[in-house]
Structure 1
């Protein structure tokens, strides 16, 4: 019997497809069993039955270090460097964009550390505008004095100081079409593959390699991510002799920036020693139009909640999630809405999604609350939603609701916060 090549190939493809489908099904069953097994061990440890559970993503060690201010885990000399920086009165006295100058410098360092950037880059982030900048008129160290430069070298090291020097003295606009990307003239900026000559304050001009340009712009992305509020202290007030035209601090609405964060990150990716996991490892770019629609939809819910139907709130928040997939806050608002409606599975799914995005970005988008607070709230929502799904009487691990010594005068069942933290840790699952 003769078979055509086509019929043989078709048969092979059919077998392959069948095997693949069977393998995928087996993997799904294994995954379900693993989750059930994990949940069972959690519930058995507290002598209760577990019906269903959405596991916690494991908190990355560097995120935990950020939340606990354990800076030696981010850099072996982290505590020492930040302590010396904090002792400079100017870092506390100067009100920056949304916090003190010190808090901003620390935040930029933390973000770059969580993004696993090399030592010179994360340390440069710690004091990136120490010599001022092309858009920032204030400085801590005088770039024109060798004594000041040596002082900074002794604080953060020679390579990091050199990066801070270039960051604070050159015109960044010509690096990888940066000005055009921010100014919305170029959607997908490109980097020169050869050295370029750029303007320099003090030296007239200098040569910058594509690698140095990438390092400067990586620090720039983290710098702006840490401070992105619509009304910015130094930009909208301090640098205007007449005081600007916006009342500070404004309402806290997020500024627009992810469009150029993501596009510049993609442009510099080939020249980075370490590519961060943000923006799908610097591969996904969102448009400024989508970012603005997403931001405004989110903001409408936060500002007009009392006047909006629940379905409208959900629709607007889902739109935010679709158009700006990098931020966790809209997921957390959705989690709260679902929880109030008794939809605990959906609430848990959204809280889990929020946590994943917070951990990846290593910063919050809505700066009205701190990054640590957003992470903490998302973990609480995930825990409470899980406990509700499991049919427990309380969404909190209360001590003993039957023991009057652990029930206060307002009939509130007392909760040991150490137990609360331990239960969240027990619910963490690798690879979620």
Structure 2
């Protein structure tokens, strides 16, 4: 919570002394005026940086996250810096190793690299096998047996050789990038009804922003987590040899039990539907048991989302079940802090955290408003 509190209070200099200057530079480029999915490009860059920081990523990877698409890339045209002109400026800002990552990130065909060449190439069973711990050194290297992969530079068509560690960095960056920006507008665009996020549809007419319901992206992130863990396992079998700039040290995000579990698409769909039924219900008409059952079902089908726990905490406070409310509020907060972003993006991550803390505080004090004005009065967290 202490690291998250620095972001919540915008005490950026305490996170990195150079961060306030970086943010000022990004604003001066117009990043806060550029569209990006459910906000501005500036907001997206800051939130990806926050996610990576809360996941414990190395400084150079976090800095890359803050500038990650600033030369434009294979997904989106957001060149707030000209790659042929401004690279030295960006190097002066964030350092050579981080800028090299930014430049690489912007020239690789990321959809082809992460999805076609890796994520969609292997089955769930193969990814789970690659991610399984095995320190014997005898396990076959399924993902990148040669320790590298070659892709084409999207700007000039030349070969780009990516060592395994850099591929792992790009998987981690893509996890943070996707979980910040995806919600059901993208599901509508790509016809992601099955929750596998294969980007196979072409519903370009999907009206923005849609209803901004939670998207079906978390199953794909769980597969990326297995892929990341598998890549790091393979490198460990190579006795830690790291053919990469600055020998970037990586750790697994605190998701899916250390990136060891798979969330099935059918479970993420069921969890979302149960959650939406619950939050759209009328307590006086459907009753506590019916709504609580939906929320508990959502938590069972997808144990890694926080928002259903917080809604259940409020429900328990209304019923005077304060001990259960405190437990649910703590669980919801824990998960939201682990992600560093909201699953239900109809409300900002910061607001979910503040709401969760209000719930937890009041549950521990065994009190809850019984009037509408009392609800409006909620806000202060001690």
TM-score by length of 2: 0.79
Give the drift of 1:183. 5.8
1:92 aligns with 2:32: yes
Structure 1 residue 416: Cα displacement: 11
Match of 2:164 among 210, 216, 241: 210
SS at match of 1:261: helix
Aligned partner of 1:334 among 312, 335, 338? 312
Query: What residue in structure 2 maps to residue 258 of structure 1?
Result: 218
Question: Considering only aligned residues, what root-mean-square deviation do their CA atoms show, in Å?
Answer: 2.9
Contact 2:45-2:67 at 8 Å conserved across structures? yes
2:289 alignment partner in structure 1: 311
Of 140, 144, 148, which aligns to 1:192? 144
1:211 Cα deviation from its structure 2 partner: 0.2
2:108 corresponds to: 170
Which one is further off, 244-253 or 366-375?
244-253
Could you tell me how far 1:142 is from its partner in structure 2?
2.7
- The answer to whether the aligner puts 1:64 opposite 2:5 as a matched pair is yes
Name the CA distance, whole Å, in 2 between partners of 1:151 and 1:103. Answer: 22
The equivalent of 1:33 in structure 2 is none
Asked if 1 retains the 8 angstrom alpha-carbon contact of 2:119 and 2:224, the reply is no
Aligned to 2:265: 288
Larger radius of gyration: 1
Distance 1:84 1:314, change over 3 A: same
Distance 1:292 1:344 in 2: 30
Cα deviation, residue 342, structure 1: 1.6
State the partner residue of 1:226: 180
Superposed displacement of residue 180, structure 1 = 7.0
Give 1:267's aligned residue.
227
Kept in 2: contact 1:383–1:395 (CA 8 A): no
Distance 1:294 1:131, change over 3 A: same
Q: Give the equivalent residue in structure 2 for 1:75.
A: 16
Counterpart pick for 2:274 among 287, 291, 297: 297
Aligned residue number for residue 97 of structure 2: 159
Would you say how many aligned residue pairs link Structure 1 and Structure 2? 333
1:186 shift after superposition = 3.2
CA contact (8 A) 2:38 2:181 kept: yes
Q: Which runs of 5+ in 2 are unaligned?
A: 131-142, 191-201, 236-248
Alignment of structure 1 residues 115-154 onto 2, 5 Å: 115-143=55-83, 145=84, 147-154=85-92
Please give the alpha-carbon distance, in whole angstroms, between the structure 2 residues aligned to 1:300 and 1:416: 25
Distance in 2 of aligned mates of 1:354 and 1:275: 21
Question: Closer, same or farther in 2 for the Cα pair 1:245/1:173, shift >3 Å?
Answer: closer
Give the C-alpha shift of residue 415 in structure 1: 8.6
1:244 to 204, 208, 228: 204
Aligned equivalents of 1:223 and 1:215: distance in 2? 12
Please report the TM-score for the alignment, with normalisation by the length of structure 1.
0.70
Distance in 2 (CA, whole Å) between partners of 1:358 and 1:126 is 20
* Aligned-partner SS, 1:231: helix
Distance 1:288 1:416 in 2: 37
Given that 1:232 and 1:249 are in contact with CA atoms closer than 8 Å, whether structure 2 keeps it comes out as: no
The C-alpha deviation readout for 1:274-325, integer Å capped at 9, x for no partner, is 2222222222221122111111221222234466443222222112111211
After superposition, what is the alpha-carbon deviation per residue over 1:60-111, rounded to whole angstroms, capped at 9, x for unaligned? x21111111122233231111112112222x121121101110111000011
- Counterpart CA distance in 2 for 1:319 and 1:230 is 21
Contact 2:150–2:161 (8 Å) recurs in 1: yes
Structure 1 residue runs without a partner (length 5+): 1-58, 237-241, 389-393, 397-409, 423-432
The answer to whether the Cα contact below 8 Å between 1:363 and 1:371 also exists between their aligned partners in 2 is yes
